[in-house]
Amino acid sequence: MIKRASALVVAGALVTACSAKEESGAGGSEVKSISVMASQDWVRAPELDLAKKFEKETGIKVDYQIIPADQYSNVLSTKLNSGDAADIFMNQSGKFDIVSQLHIQKTGVDLTDQEWASRMDPGAKEQVSVDGHVYGQTIWDVSDSWAYIYNKKIFDRLGLKPPTTFNEFMTVNAALLKGGVTPIYEPVKDGWHAQLNFFDVSAAYNKSDPNLVSNLNANKTKFADHPIFKTMIQQMKQVYDAGYWGDNALSNEFANTPAEMAGGKYAMTVNSIGRIADIVAAGKKYTEDDFGIFPAPYLDNQIIASAPAGPTKFIFTKSKKIDAAKKYLAFLAKPENLQYMIDKEPSFNALPFTGLKTTYPPAMAQAIKDFRTDDTVTYQDVVIYLNPQWTDFGKDLTSYLVGDMSADDVIANIDQRRADQADAARDSNW
The percentage of the chain sitting over the pLDDT mark of 90, rounded to a whole number, equals: 83
CA-only gyration radius of the chain, Å: 22
Distance, CA of 2 to chain centre? 2
Quick check: 27 pLDDT over 60?
no
Bridge partners, 30 (sequence order): 24
Q: What's the whole-number mean pLDDT along residues 366-372? A: 92
Model pLDDT, residue 29:
57
pLDDT tier at 37 (50, 70, 90 boundaries)? very high
Model pLDDT, residue 399:
98
As a whole number of angstroms, the distance between CA 201 and CA 208 comes to 11
DSSP H or E stretch at residue 425? none
Q: Which of 204, 216, 126, 194 is nearest to 165 (CA)?
A: 204
Cα angle value 194/145/252 (rounded, 5°):
30
Domains 14-142+308-353 and 146-306+368-424 share a fold: yes
Contact (Cβ atoms closer than 8 angstroms) between residue 94 and residue 309: yes
pLDDT (tens digit per residue) in 318-368: 999 999 999 999 999 999 999 999 999 988 999 999 999 999 889 999 998
DSSP H or E stretch at residue 146? strand 146-151
Return the CATH fold of 14-142+308-353: D-Maltodextrin-Binding Protein; domain 2 (3.40.190)
DSSP H or E stretch at residue 15? strand 14-16
Give me the residue spans of the domains in the chain: 14-142+308-353, 146-306+368-424
Contact (Cβ atoms closer than 8 angstroms) between residue 59 and residue 20: yes
Indicate the pTM of the whole model: 0.81
CATH of domain 146-306+368-424: 3.40.190.10
For the chain, what's the residue count?
A: 430
Quick check: 223 pLDDT over 70?
yes
Helix or strand or coil: residue 197?
A: helix
Quick check: 7 pLDDT over 80?
no
Kindly give the residue spans of alpha helices, DSSP state H, lying in 40-96.
Answer: 45-58, 69-82
